[in-house]
Structure 1
Amino acid sequence: MLIAQISDPHIRPRGRLYQGVVDSNAQLAAAVRQLNALSPAPDLVLLSGDVVDEGRADEYAMAREILGGLHAPLVALPGNHDDRDAFRAAFAADGFLPAEGPLHLVVEDKGPVRVVGLDVTVPGAHHGMVDDAAASWLDATLAASPHRPTLVMLHHPPFESGIPYIDIYRCLGADRLAAVIARHPQVERITCGHIHRHMQMRFAGTLLVTAPSTTTAIALRPEPGAEPASFLEPPALLLHHWRPGTGLITHLLPVGIFPGPWPFA
C-alpha cells in the first residue's frame, strides 16, 4: 500500500500570493501533477492541515479546484490556519468527516493500513491540544482494530523541535497522547504537518515524522531567541510505503522536475 502525504499548502484566492511572496496555488498544483505521475499510483493521499491560509470560502474553493485534479482518493485534516466550519463544508461531499464536533477521521478501506486522523486544532488559536476527549476518542478508535497496521495523522507535532518560534505553537498534551499510543503497538507511524520541515523521532514506542510544506520551509534555527524566518526551499512530500514482512517505510520525495533518469543506480 502506498500512502502519499502533502501538507501546509496555505492556498490563497485565485491570483493572490502566500505572504505576498510565494505562489502557493501553483506549488500545490505541481504536487498534484507529481502525485498523478507516480508509478505505482498512491492508494490514498493525506493532507495534514493548513489547507488554506486564512480560512476563507474563496480559498477553499481554490483548494478544491486544485485538489480536484488528484487521481487518488484524498482525506484531509484541518490545521491552525483552517476554519473548522468552512473546512467541514468544503470537504463534506467527500464523506470522510463527521457532521459535527472535532474533525477526526478513520480510513478503513483503501488497503491493509488503517489511517486514523486526530483533529488537535483549537479554534481561534494557533497551538494544538490533545485533551481528554480527543485522547478517549483515539484510544477507543485504536482499540477497535488492534491487529491492523495503523498510521495516525495530526496537524501539530507533539514535541519541541528546538526551533523556538514554531515550538510555541506545538501540540500540547503530548504525555496524554503518548500514553494512548503506547497502549497500541499496531501504530506504525505518527505523521504531522505544521512545522514546514521534515523531522523524525521516536515517540511512545513508535516513529513520528513530519511532512514538509508544499509552499515554504520554516528556517532551521534551533537556538534560543532565534528570529522567525522562512525560505523558499524545494517543496517536498512524503510517501509511506507498507509491505508485508517489512512494515511501513517513509520516503521524502522532492516536488519538481530534475535531471535524469540516467541508466545507473
Structure 2
Amino acid sequence: MLIAQISDTHIGVPGALAYGRVDVSRMLIDCVRHVCRLDPRPDLLLVTGDLVDRGIPDEYAHFRELLAPLQMPVRVIAGNHDEREALREAFIGDGYLPSSGFLHYVLDEYPLRVIGLDTLVPGSGRGELCAERLEWLDATLSAKPHAPTLVALHHPPFDTGIAYMDRLGLTGREAYADLIEAHPQVRATLCGHLHRHIVSAIGNRPAITAPSPAHQVALNFDADAPGCFSMEPPGFLLHRWDGKHLTSHAVSIGNFAGPYPFRR
C-alpha cells in the first residue's frame, strides 16, 4: 500500500497569493502533477490540515478543483487555518466524515488502518486533544487491537525546537503519547502544521511531519526568532506499507535530470 501525504497547502480563492507572495495554487497544481506521475500510483492521498487559508467555502471549492486530476481517493484532516463546518460541507459527500461534532474518521478498507483526528481549536493556532477526543481515539483503537494502524492529525504531538511554531503546539500530547504506547498496533503518527519534514518519536513510535507543497517554515532554533517562511524546495511524503513494515520517503516536487545508471 502507498499513501501520499501532503500538508499545509493554504489555498485561497482563485488568484490569491499567500502572504502576498506565494502562488499556492500553482504549487499545488505542480504537486498534483508530480503525484499523478508516480508509478505505481498511491492508493490514497492524505491531506494533514490547513487545506485552505481562511476557511471559507470558496477556498474549499477551489481546493477541490485543484485536486480533481488525481485518480485516487483523497481524505482530509482539519488544521488550524480550516473552519470545521465549511470543511465538513465541502467533503461530507465523500462519505467518510461525520455529520456533526469533531471531524474524526476511520478508514478500514485498506491493508493499513488510517485514523484521522480533529485537533482544531476555533480561533486559535494551537491544537487540542481534549478528554473527549482522546476517549474516542482510545475506543477506536481498542475496537481493532491487531490491525496495523496510522494515526493522522494536524498538530504534531512533540516540540520541534522552532519556538514560534512550538508555541502553537498541541495540548494533550502527554496523554496522547501514553495512549499510543498502550496500543502497539499504531505504527506511526502523521502530522502537518510545521511545513517541514521532521521525525521524532511519541509513545515509542515514529511521529512524522510533512513538508508543504508550497512555502516552508524557516528553520531557526533561536527562542526569540519571529515566525517566518522560506521558499525552500516544496515536497510531500510517500508512505509504503509492505504488510509488515512502514517506510516513509520525502519527495521533492519538480522535474529533475535523470535517472541515470551508476555505470556506463
TM-score exceeds 0.5: yes
CA distance in 1, matches of 2:140, 2:69: 31
- Residue by residue, what CA displacement relative to the aligned partner does 1:118-172 show, whole Å, maximum 9, x if unpaired? 1011112110011100100000101111111111000001111111111111111
Task: List alignment gaps of at least 5 residues for structure 2.
Answer: none
Helix, strand or coil for the counterpart of 1:75?
strand
CA distance in 1, matches of 2:231, 2:96: 32
Match of 2:68 in 1: 68
1:86 corresponds to 2:86: yes
1:21 corresponds to 2:5: no
Helix, strand or coil for the counterpart of 2:226?
coil
Helix, strand or coil for the counterpart of 1:106?
strand
CA distance in 2, matches of 1:50, 1:164: 20
Match of 2:254 in 1: 256
Task: List alignment gaps of at least 5 residues for structure 1.
Answer: none
CA distance in 2, matches of 1:264, 1:141: 48
Match of 1:31 in 2: 31
Match of 2:42 in 1: 42
Helix, strand or coil for the counterpart of 1:228?
coil
1:165 corresponds to 2:175: no
Matched AA of 2:16: R
Match of 2:107 in 1: 107
Match of 1:244 in 2: 243
Helix, strand or coil for the counterpart of 2:47?
strand
Match of 1:156 in 2: 155
1:10 corresponds to 2:2: no
Return structure 1 stretches of 4+ with deviation > 2 angstroms: none
- Residue by residue, what CA displacement relative to the aligned partner does 1:3-47 show, whole Å, maximum 9, x if unpaired? 110000000111111111011011111111111111111011100
CA distance in 2, matches of 1:231, 1:83: 25
Aligned 8 A contact 2:7 2:212 in 1: yes
- Residue by residue, what CA displacement relative to the aligned partner does 1:58-90 show, whole Å, maximum 9, x if unpaired? 111110101122111010001000010100011
Match of 1:145 in 2: 144
Q: How does 1:198-209 map onto structure 2 within 5 Å? A: 198-209=197-208
CA distance in 2, matches of 1:96, 1:244: 24
Matched AA of 1:139: D
Aligned residues: 263
CA distance in 2, matches of 1:124, 1:54: 11
Displacement, 1:263?
2.1
Helix, strand or coil for the counterpart of 2:63?
helix
Helix, strand or coil for the counterpart of 1:34?
helix
After superposition, the CA RMSD in angstroms is: 1.0
Identity level (%): 47
Match of 2:218 in 1: 219
Aligned 8 A contact 1:185 1:205 in 2: no
CA distance in 1, matches of 2:253, 2:201: 26
Match of 1:179 in 2: 178
Displacement, 1:244?
2.8
TM-score by length of 1: 0.97
Matched AA of 2:32: V
- Residue by residue, what CA displacement relative to the aligned partner does 1:217-237 show, whole Å, maximum 9, x if unpaired? 101101211122110111100
